Structure 1
Amino acid sequence: MQTIASISGHRPTVSVALAAYNGAEYIAGQLQSLLKQTQVPDEIVISDDSPDDRTWAAVKPFLTHPQVVYLRNNNPPGIAGNFANALQHCRGEYIFLCDQDDVWLSGKVERLAGELASSPELDGVFCNSLLVNSNLQPLKTTLFEVRKFTSQAQKQLLNAGALELFLKRVPLSGHNTAFKRRWLEKLLPFPELAPFYPDTWIALTIAAAGKWKALNEIHTHYRVHQNNQSSPRSAQWTAAGKARKNQAPLRNALLAEEILQRNPENIAPPAQAQLQQFIEHHSIRSKYAPMRLIRSWQIFREYCSGRYDLYSNGIKSAIADCIWY
């Protein structure tokens, strides 16, 4: 199918997918920032999972704008299902992911959409974000700094592609990401894993067979507060313990298996080999013995394979596996 741009010479259309849940306090400010963009999105799809009408009341004044589409879920599908519902209703050629409580700087859509339009080979793009508190006061750090997406890692993404980098640590977050519509058929429906992180799934699925680009430019004020669905600032050891409790290694392995099953014809052999090694590493991690002495030997053996450094957080992940079971 030809795009709008190829038929008429006009720019490709842009959809914003916004999953809302108890968002009454901040969502109006976010919608204002979307509608004040230098390139206003062609549609803003809001899927609302809230148990009451307060989010609806905050959104209602914006329904006079033809771009705003509001979907109320009578049977709330949960975080992942809510987000998937928003994506399913997006009709634009470029799809932007959006949190309900952030603020976008005015040139974000134009800048990221321009990058996607600049190269037929480019599949997704993500930018940096400034972390702010609930009152939008800067916290003096950026998302790239929190995710340890260093200048060296940015060069690696540019020169070697995203998959190797993302299999170790995904530097992007849903709120600062845009991708081309052609990927929706590979991304939806979301895998039935719990907990499930849509931004990780999107990042790895596209990285396995497509091309990502990073912009080290601030285009979002990412609000950090006690009601965040996720936080980029969790302490490493706390995060490691929580990950073990939530069976993260098994979930990682199943996620990579799903990527291979959905898109085998488009994933090059080297990328398939990387995914297989990732699966093997996390499958082994998910089966460690409960007895610490035996588990320590298993961890040592896996650490010697080098895969902890490639597909986990190196020695820190190995130590965490020794401590938590």
Structure 2
Amino acid sequence: MERQRSLSVSICMATYNGAAFIEEQLNSILPQLNNEDELVVSDDASTDGTWELLKNRQMQDQRIKLYRNQGKGVISNFENAMRHCQNAVIFFSDQDDVWKENKIDVMIHYFEKNPEATVVVSDLIIVDNDFKILISSYQEMRKTKTGFWQNLLRSSYIGAGMAFRSDLKKLILPIPDDVPMHDMWIGLLADENKGVMFIPEKLVYYRRHGLNATEINTTASFMQQVKWRWNAWRLVRRRLKEVQKKS
């Protein structure tokens, strides 16, 4: 049944060797989409049958749009998918999570009621491969707070819970090669104008199974983390100045 929404939705999914997990995520997302919505998937040269699985699902559902990324890594993979997203609000999706059945409607409601919000980030429930709860609230674990400087020092932006207005793409793209992660880059750009809203609803089962492409807690050294933060600040300032000059 079609849902009454004023904003169309693009789901931006990056895949790599996710055949063991991706069906559950597809099954949690597709029933939430309206006819004009789309699921845009970029696959990073999977070798485990992920691409063939996706092609088969695309034959069953034309809202699925598939693109190749040639093994360039997770940030490039999400960027490739993002470039092809056409609708008003873009949701990031990991290949191995599972969404609660009301995730899209809840988050779109926040965008509809808060026109100043450019990025909305939900809470997550962290689970193991069998969906046993490991941590009941990502936001509580990270002590999530809004604010540019707070999140530059300790980022609470997490792509698995993130959605943003597509107008932000002109600021986001292209993503610099040396940003720490795409979700931190997007969050900092939006938070500079106080456009980020963290919401308390737990809308994603965030699965950790030992094969994830990203970490919850970094294992980088203190000096590496300092360099990342300095570089992120420098890149954000540069991008904002570039956009201001063009406008």
TM-score normalised to structure 2 length? 0.89
How far off is 1:122 after superposition?
Answer: 1.3
2:190 pairs with one of 179, 203, 206: 206
Which residue number in structure 1 is paired with residue 160 of structure 2? 175
For these two proteins, the number of residue pairs brought into alignment is: 240
Question: Whose radius of gyration is greater, 1 or 2?
Answer: 1
Q: How does 1:232-271 map to 2 (within 5 A)?
A: 232=216, 234=217, 239=218, 242-244=220-222, 247-264=224-241
Provide the identity percentage: 29
User: Which residue of structure 2 lines up, in the alignment, with residue 145 of structure 1?
Assistant: 140
How many Å separate the matches in 1 of 2:181 and 2:67?
21
Counterpart code for 1:242? A
Counterpart of 1:12 (choices 7, 31, 42) is 7
211 and 61 in structure 1: CA distance in 2 versus 1, 3 angstrom threshold: same
Q: Counterparts of 1:26 and 1:34 in 2: how far apart (Å)?
A: 13
Q: In the superposition, relative to structure 1, how do residues 39 and 146 fare at CA in structure 2: closer, same or farther (>3 Å)?
A: farther
CA offset digits 1:25-82 (Å, max 9, x no partner): 1011101100122767701111001342510132233212121111123x32221111
Conservation of the 8 A alpha-carbon contact between 1:125 and 1:213: yes
Q: Equivalent residue for 1:61? A: 56
Distance 2:54 2:242 in 1: 42
- Aligned equivalent of 1:124, options 110, 119, 123: 119
Any idea what the Cα deviations from partners look like across 1:193-215, whole Å, max 9, x if unmatched? 17x31111111111112411111
- Is the 2:152–2:229 contact (alpha carbons within 8 Å) kept by the matching residues of 1? no
- Unaligned runs of at least 5 residues, structure 2: none
CA shift in 2, pair 1:193/1:61, >3 Å: same
> Comparing both structures, which one devotes a greater share of its residues to strand?
2
Alpha-carbon deviations, 1:243-271, whole Å to 9, x = none? 347x332232122112112213889xxxx
Supply the distance in 1 between the matched residues of 2:5 and 2:138 (Cα, whole angstroms).
33
Contact 2:148 2:191 in 1 (8 A): yes
**How do 1:283-298 residues align onto structure 2 when only pairs under 5 Å count?**
none
Which of 113, 118, 121 is matched with 2:108 structurally? 113
Supply the distance in 2 between the matched residues of 1:108 and 1:214 (Cα, whole angstroms): 14
Check whether the contact 1:15–1:91 (CA below 8 A) recurs between aligned residues: yes
Computed over aligned residues only, the root mean square deviation of the Cα atoms, in angstroms, reads 2.2
Displacement of 1:145 in angstroms is: 2.4
- 2:222, 2:152 → 1: CA distance? 17
Tell me by how many angstroms 1:178 deviates: 0.5
Change in CA separation of 1:148 and 1:119 when aligned onto 2, cut-off 3 Å = closer
- 1:189 matched to 2:179? The reply is no
Q: Which amino acid aligns with 1:183?
A: L
Structure 1 SS opposite 2:220? helix
Distance 1:215 1:29 in 2: 24
Secondary structure at the aligned position of 1:114 is classed as helix
TM-score, with normalisation over the residues of structure 1?
0.69
SS of aligned partner of 1:113:
helix
Superposition pairs of residues 67-82 of structure 1, within 5 angstroms: 67-73=63-69, 75-82=70-77
Q: Following TM superposition, by how much is the alpha carbon of 1:171 offset from its aligned partner in structure 2, in angstroms? A: 1.4
Q: Which residue of 1 aligns with 2:204?
A: 220
Q: C-alpha offsets along residues 88-111 of structure 1, whole Å, 9 cap, x if unaligned? A: 010011010110000000110011
Moved more, 221-230 or 117-126: 117-126
Native 8 Å contact 2:153 2:229 kept in 1: no
- Please list every run of 5 or more consecutive structure 1 residues that lacks an aligned counterpart in the other structure: 1-8, 268-325
SS at match of 1:242: coil
For the 8 Å contact 1:40–1:109, the answer to whether it is kept is no
Instruction: After superposition, give the CA deviation of every residue in 1:206-239 in whole Å (9 maximum; x if it has no partner).
Output: 111241111111100000110011232x4xxxx4
